[in-house]
Amino acid sequence: MKQTILIIEDDTTFGTMLQRWCLRIGFEAELCSDISSAEVTLSHKKVHLVLSDLRLPDGDGIMLLHWMRDRKMNIPVIVMTSYAEIQSAVAAIKLGAEDFLEKPMNPSILKDKIEQALSVKPASTKISGPIVNNMILGKSPEAQQMYDHILKVAPTRMSVLIVGESGTGKEYAARMIHENSPRRNKPFIAVDCGSLSRELAPSELFGHLKGSFTSAIEDKSGVFVQADQGTVFLDEVGNLSYDVQVQLLRTLQEQKVRPVGSVKDIKVDVRILAATNEDLGTAIAEGRFREDLYHRLNEFSLFIPPIRDRKGDIPIFANEFLRQANEELEKSVKGFLPDAMALLERHHWSGNLRELRNTVRRLVLFASNDMIAPSDIPAFAPSSSVSENLALQPDNEREQIENALRKARGNKTLAATLLKIDRKTLYNKMHLYDIKF
């Protein structure tokens, strides 16, 4: 049985052309010229996909999406428009649109979008259970909203900027976007931009030719070529040097890369996901980050809430981390006594999931009974003072970092421990203050 596409287009000539094109490529096609007639068709006829203009005589595509969502119609929608506004794209995606295409449309691209939308499981399907593809999922309202946004944006080509505190699981969110996208069977490559030096970054990202610099003893393909047709995740993207930002912007605009030492471009098809725990607005104001690159990366913004704001999820993560720790450490701790779990739920968790996981691993390592009791958990500092205890004082951060590195004799892990920050934050601070050690 052929699948039916509902076309909503007030330009009769263009709408009829689209209808004939849909019939030619093997679909049934209904044509409506306004929202009212589209609502009647959707209420009385089986429709598999909606292809809707954004601007219509009696409203817009956003209104139609609201109407469909209120009636729990899990039908994929592709919005068309001559008005390429990112704000409208984000509004459409959040309400359930699969994609957002600007007129005039390339028929082959439109065909691919339709096939992708019809092959993807409806994005509004509620996630249940604690793990999807080895990823731990929470059940709090904050978590469910985050997963809903992930599943809405995943099938599209939109670049996503993932924002959240250190340790909240931004890379897990990026992997979830990739796994629920049409690129799921292609490469996913994560790059820690905080660990890339100014000299190393162009080669790592874009590749180089043999002899292009002293240590270039052979040709190297960069991350973008390796991830062709897949996804590149740029973690802590705010740490990229200004020169590399210029090259990255060109890659995003033209879908081409030029290896170091080459005069030829290489065509690539890569989706970009980026993450930061830094305020890029401040970085733009200070001239450290390009505003045009920010808007390219931020076609859709995904916020990862800190674990302290989703306390109902703490038992889920704690128990899963306990299971992992039992397996890793060959222990058999069964769980947490209620009072012990209450202590975990009351803690501030400045280090978020990373801190919680490390805490549970230590508890399992030193556990002498089947159940973890309150006496097994080290006294946590009151939440009001945690951030003061862990944060470096801004007026002498550089001096504190250099002193810690000297005491640790250059050992970054030990220095981070002395400073009560995680190692990635230490690298970010060293990069910010240009500290060489």
Q: Which pLDDT score is estimated for 120?
A: 56
Residue partners of 284: CB distance under 8 A and separation at least 6: 290, 291, 294
What distance separates the 2 farthest-apart alpha carbons in the chain? 77
What does the block give as tokens for 152? 């809405």
CATH (one of 2.60.40.10, 3.40.1440.10, 3.90.700.10, 3.40.50.300) for 140-303: 3.40.50.300
Burial letters 7-44, b for 16+ CB under 10 A, else e: bbbeeeeebeebbebbeeeebbbbbbbbbeebbebbee
Nearest Cα neighbor of 287 from 235, 237, 238 is: 238
- Average pLDDT for the chain: 82
8 Å CB contact between 7 and 19: yes
Q: Is 74 helix (H, G, I), strand (E, B) or coil?
A: coil
pTM: 0.58
pLDDT digits (tens, 9 = 90+) for 60-103: 777 888 788 777 788 888 888 765 555 565 666 666 677 777 77
pLDDT digits (tens, 9 = 90+) for 244-284: 899 999 989 888 988 888 888 889 999 999 998 888 888 89
Measured CA to CA, the distance from residue 92 to residue 96 in angstroms comes to 6
CATH (one of 2.60.120.200, 1.25.40.390, 1.10.3470.10, 1.10.8.60) for 307-385: 1.10.8.60
Helices (H), 211-337: 223-226, 242-254, 280-285, 291-297, 314-329
8 Å CB contact between 353 and 317: yes
Question: For the residues 406-423, what does the mean pLDDT come to?
Answer: 74
| Residue range(s) of every CATH 3.40.50.300 domain in the chain | 140-303
Highest mean pLDDT among 206-220, 309-323, 386-400: 309-323
**387: confidence class by pLDDT, cuts 50, 70, 90:** very low
Measured CA to CA, the distance from residue 343 to residue 346 in angstroms comes to 5
Q: Which pLDDT score is estimated for 386?
A: 34
pLDDT over 70 for what percent of the chain?
87
Q: Which of 118-127, 240-249, 255-264, 425-434 has the lowest mean pLDDT?
A: 118-127
The CATH topology of domain 391-432 is Arc Repressor Mutant, subunit A (1.10.10)
Question: For the residues 295-313, what does the mean pLDDT come to?
Answer: 90
8 Å CB contact between 387 and 421: no
8 Å CB contact between 211 and 203: no
**Residue 44 pLDDT > 90, yes or no?**
no
| Residue range(s) of every CATH 1.10.10 domain in the chain | 391-432
**205: confidence class by pLDDT, cuts 50, 70, 90:** confident
**380: confidence class by pLDDT, cuts 50, 70, 90:** low
| Residue range(s) of every CATH 3.40.50.2300 domain in the chain | 4-119
**CATH 3.40.50.150 applies to domain 4-119:** no
**131: confidence class by pLDDT, cuts 50, 70, 90:** very low
| Residue range(s) of every CATH 1.10.8.60 domain in the chain | 307-385
Q: Which pLDDT score is estimated for 158?
A: 92
What does the block give as tokens for 236? 């802590």
Question: Which residue is listed with tokens 């469910």?
Answer: 144
Burial letters 349-358, b for 16+ CB under 10 A, else e: bbbbbbbbbe
Q: Which pLDDT score is estimated for 271?
A: 94
- Give CA 235 to chain center in angstroms: 10
**399: confidence class by pLDDT, cuts 50, 70, 90:** confident
Residue partners of 317: CB distance under 8 A and separation at least 6: 136, 138, 307, 353, 356, 357
Measured CA to CA, the distance from residue 372 to residue 279 in angstroms comes to 39
